[in-house]
Structure 1
Amino acid sequence: MTPRFLASLEHPRECKQCEKKGQRRSPRLVREIAHDFKTDLRFQSAAIDALEEATSPGSSKSSIPFFKTSVSTGFNMEIIGGREVSPHSRPFMASLQYGGDHICGGVLIHPQWVLTAAHCHFRFPKSQSSKVVLGAHSLSKNEASKQTFKIKKFIRFPGFTTDPKSNDIMLVKLHTAAILNEHVQLLHPRAKTDIKAGTKCQVVGWGATDPECLTPSDTLREVTVTVISRKICNSRDYYNHNPIITRTMLCAGDARGQKDSCQGDSGGPLVCKGAFHALVSGGRKCGDAKKPGIYILLTRKYQAWIKSNLAPSHAD
């Protein structure tokens, strides 16, 4: 699909709401990508990076091919309508960072392994600049509870695809094992059954709190969302089978569109009735009642794959 915005580029503009927070507004053309492409643009930061490179003075690029790749392969998420959690009350949370910037969330499932979304891998072109931070509440403060690790390797699920979107799950191995304590703990995926529509679940992350601004929240936040049936989510008024919400995926949001996950939250957990059920994956818009967040359900298939990769025989 050819994006309709290419004839009218514009530089990022500051909006009053973002300016007050020290954040920058996403440029119109980037917001149009989110609306125009088949996939969502919850990977806006990559698109903006590409735009700035492609339109900078002296750039030899005459087109922006990276946009399609970035848009169709990423779904970074943010917390909309949530609240800040008590510091270190979610000790399983991981911040995946590149060049010092928070990119995706993740869940510590083993002292040396973090579970996250496979599409997050596209934001880590150089492993030496990548790191995982555990034990954090604030991204900016020097908290004594923080443990920082280099990344040893990424293992994406072998069936991961971006078109159609499927199997958006990945393991990240830390160079050394984390020290488990009150601020750093494990969360195991235990649920092996589907989640009924209407179930209330919590999603956690450091994503931005305003869909017009791109800066992540400095502190960890959480929001309660409601699971929506696949029949409704695939209906014409919702996603209209684009993408198809399969049995390994689920939708969750809010009837008024005021509670959602979005940019910066990809790879974070969806916890329902105390059980770790799914990972934040994507969605067409942020905070839109008819375009709720899409999550990867941690089915038996995925849990078997996780277990096999964590087995001692796979140690290296």
Structure 2
Amino acid sequence: MRMRRRLVRALVRPLALAAAVTALSAGSTASVAADRAVIGGFPVDASQSPWTVALSSRDRFGGTRSGQFCGGAAVGRTTVLTAAHCMDRDVLGGPPERVKDLKVITGRTDLLADRDGQEIAVRSAWVNPAYDGVSNIGDFAVLTLARPLPAGSVIGMAADGDPAYAPGGAATVYGWGDISGAGEYPSDLRAARVRVLPDASCEEAYPGGGADGTYDARSMLCAGEMDGGRDACQGDSGGPLVARGRLIGLVSWGIGCGRAGSPGVYMRVSDIMRTLGWR
């Protein structure tokens, strides 16, 4: 199979892509988690972050782990934000409207516990037309659900100027992704505590001009630890980064998982709000 260059980058968080290619190359429908997951994290119950949802397609990724391949954040009872690259044709095998069983899973801590929580069909998916898969700029999509999420499942978004974006501040990233960087996918939801880093740190780590993406301070933010350790990883793409009780980022890309000098890059929610005209 011919792979586009971004599929073979060293763990750019378009990891849903890597998972889809692996599954298809193997000629199997076995479940494969898609994008980044939490490194250096800890288990958390879904009730503690009810706005964290799993994106699922059993037809595409198999029944194991409920077909999970990316994460998302509920910002309205019928509105979920996720990464644009999670909706890529290379991930889903076609446009999202052709994936008949595309769903979000809410209220489920353990993906193996099929009877827990709810699975809600995705009625429509709007993918940012300005998304650039080379630079990773504009990596977000908006999913509209067929019926409302339970009350209390929505998180508020941090607008421009919110102190939640201040460098040095504490934040938490959530997901069902890889916990080792070596393909070790848990079935239960996990979280990792990270720090919001100065834009200069990511500008230095990802200056552009190569295959590793370009850090754009207006539309992205940087979080993690510069000496490595806690981070998102494969299977976590599109999942929420939360600070001061508000959504500030969506897991997007980076190099490796928890690697020193290569912090995680997230889509800045204030820029998503500006792009969509949300207040």
Alignment counterpart, residue 222 of structure 2, candidates 239, 251, 260: 251
What SS class does the counterpart of residue 46 from structure 1 fall into? helix
Select which of 180, 187, 190 maps to 1:218. Answer: 187
Letter in 2 for 1:207: G
User: Would the aligned equivalents of 1:95 and 1:133 in 2 still touch at CA under 8 Å?
Assistant: yes
Partner in structure 2 of residue 190 of structure 1:
158
Question: Which of residues 178, 197, 202 is equivalent to 2:172?
Answer: 202
| Shift in alpha-carbon separation, 1:137–1:248, aligned structure 2, 3 A | same
SS in 1 for 2:47: coil
Question: How many angstroms apart in 2 are the aligned matches of 1:304 and 1:188?
Answer: 17
Given the two structures, how large is their TM-score scaled by the length of structure 1?
0.72
Contact 1:82 1:259 in 2 (8 A): yes
Structure 1 residue 143 displacement after superposition? 4.2
Query: 2:43 maps to which residue?
Result: 84
Residue number among 42, 50, 54 corresponding to 1:95 in the alignment: 54
Unaligned runs of 5+ in 2: 29-33, 59-65
Partners of 1:214 and 1:263 within 8 A in 2: no
SS in 1 for 2:261: coil
CA distance in 2, matches of 1:178, 1:239: 37
Residues 110-140 of structure 1, C-alpha deviations (whole Å, 9 max, x = no match): 1211111111102333421321111111111
Cα 1:232/1:109, change in 2 over 3 Å:
closer
**Counterpart in 1 of 2:15?**
42
Identity of aligned residues (%): 27
Greater radius of gyration (CA): 1
> What is the alpha-carbon distance in structure 2 between the residues aligned to residue 301 and residue 219 of structure 1?
29
TM-fit CA distance, 1:90: 0.8
Aligned counterparts of 2:14 and 2:245: Cα–Cα separation in 1: 30
Residue 177 of structure 1 and its aligned partner are, at CA, apart by 2.0
| Structure 1 residues without counterparts, runs of 5 or longer | 4-29, 57-74, 309-316
* Superposition CA RMSD, Å: 2.5
Partner amino acid, structure 2, of 1:113: T
Structure 1 residue 222, shift from structure 2 partner: 0.7
What is the aligned partner in structure 1 of residue 31 from structure 2? none
